[in-house]
Amino acid sequence: MHINGNIAKFTMSLKGGKLPDDFSATINVTMDFTGASTAQLIECCAGGSSARVKLQSKLRALKPAQLRAYELEGYKTTFVQVMSSSTVVVDYKSALLALTHDEFITRVTTDIGCNEDQADKYYNKLHNS
């Protein structure tokens, strides 16, 4: 683990949970502790909960393709977000990168309102950058 100010960087291995038996991923995580209260930090340290374990549980609920994208790009989050009971918030680009070509075309034409040719160009640009 590397700590610089309010930022912690570490590597996380994922397997098990709802993931396929033969799947594993190793993701470089950047967790920002900015905005975390002293009470939240104490609760995490002394209350028996772990931000790392909570993040692993949340990430195991994602599709393997999305986790593969995070293996390439890394994963950025905040301590406050991880410790909340909500699901992991995924940035739009990472969500798109995890989709198959057909899923991507459907999603982008629906979300943005472009035609299939434009969506295909965007797919190629995103996957070749």
String of DSSP letters for 35-83: T--HHHHHHHHHSS--HHHHHHHHHHTS-HHHHHHHHHH-EEEEHHHHH
| Residue 13 neighbours by CB distance under 10 Å | 9
Q: Torsion angle of alpha carbons 53, 41, 49, 64, nearest 10°?
A: -20
Measured from the Cβ of residue 15, the count of other Cβ atoms closer than 10 Å reads: 14
How many helices (H) and strands (E) the chain has is answered by 7, 4
- HSE-up (13 A, CA, CB side) for residue 22: 0
Q: Which helix (H) or strand (E) holds 3?
A: strand 2-4
Q: For residue 116, give the H/E element and its range.
A: helix 116-127
The pLDDT tens digits along the chain (129 residues) read: 888 888 999 999 999 888 899 999 999 999 999 888 888 888 888 877 788 888 998 888 888 888 888 888 889 888 888 887 655 555 667 777 777 888 888 877 876 677 899 889 888 888 876
Domain range summary for the chain, segments of one domain joined by +: 2-87, 99-129
